[in-house]
Amino acid sequence: MTNENSKYKEAGVNIDEQDKAISRIKKIVASTFTSNVLTGIGSFGTLFQIPEGYTNPVLVSSCDGVGTKLKVAFMTGIHDTVGEDLVNHCVNDIFVQGAKPLYFLDYIATGKLKAGVIEDIVSGLARGCKNNEMSLIGGEMAEMPGFYSEGEYDIAGFITGIVEKDKVITGENIKPGDLILGFKSTGLHTNGYSLARKIIFEDLKLKVDDYVEDLGCTVGEELLKVHKSYYPILKEAVEEGIVNGMAHITGGGFLDNIPRVLPDNCDAIIKKDRVPVLPVFNFLVENGNVSKKEAYRVFNMGIGMVCIVSPENIEKFYSLVKEEVFEIGVIESGFKKVVLI
């Protein structure tokens, strides 16, 4: 080791540990590559060719993080699920516009880099990428001593997908009479954790290893349930062009996310008794004294994805979807808002 590297290590940055981490994740990352990835790991930039078969392709990009769900990973020492959370969240965000995922990049920053933790995070990223038929083509590991607390890190993801220009889902075809169809979430996904953590850890004084009968599992197991990707179960229906609009129910819940796809002259009427509310949300609402209106704005309440479909296409939609569908509402004339009834 050079003297310069020793001094750098004394300052808190361990290049050797970074090299160790890279060597441990190379095969994991390469396992996600498709034939469209033209460069290997280690290039300054990764080359990715547009897949064949597109006439007028549009690239769709997005970026996001996992938020304070990471605090639960730190508390449990489980780091191989948050990467999958990140990928699936980003996939859903571009999928609502009809995009097929192409590739993903990640950013991991920490105070002190630990190769094993990085390997766990990247294994989750790779699993998410493979399940969504895309490549993990690059990323950045930043060791920033003094910036993050001991044992903590942050992650962010950057995704690019593709869709034919004439098949972009904009919501402009939504009209009164269309049905609002919901698909179950696995739990909190990656939103509402600041409130959930306050209720669970501060108000109720629970620990991550505490078993909660209402949840049927420990606190940690519930809070680390992986954010679901809806791409595998809905891609056929989307490719058929029979979905008028889609909304990923993330931060802002029903009240802020569904209006993002509504035309100015339409309201979304949501029937609360049709929503398959998961036990974790009842637990949080009751123990946190959260109003129903706030709950539907903070949490997904058991629905992670919403599709809006015309009645004439509903039978075909059902035939193409391999998962239970919940008819949770209808589109009516209005002013681009959500009405809970």
DSSP secondary structure string for all residues of 157-182: EEEEEEEEGGG---STT--TTPEEEE
CATH class of 3-167: alpha beta
Place of tokens 């990223």: 125
Question: Each residue of 26-81: pLDDT tens digit?
Answer: 899 999 999 999 988 778 899 999 999 999 999 999 999 999 999 999 999 999 99
Domain boundaries, the chain: 3-167, 179-340
pLDDT band at 4 (very low <50, low <70, confident <90, very high): low
Say if CB 142 and CB 21 are below 8 A apart: no
Closest CA to 227 of 259, 184, 196: 184
Per-residue confidence (pLDDT) for residue 6, from 0 to 100: 74
CATH class of 179-340: alpha beta
The angle at the Cα of 127, spanning 217 to 139, to the nearest 5 degrees, equals 120
Per-residue confidence (pLDDT) for residue 91, from 0 to 100: 98
Per-residue confidence (pLDDT) for residue 134, from 0 to 100: 97
Return all residues near 60 (Cβ < 8 A) that are at least 6 apart. 94, 97, 99, 160, 161, 162, 163
Closest CA to 230 of 306, 163, 165: 306
Q: Do domains 3-167 and 179-340 have the same CATH topology?
A: no
Two structure tokens written together for 129: 């990428």
CA distance 61 to 301: 27
Say if CB 228 and CB 88 are below 8 A apart: yes
Average pLDDT over residues 292-303: 96
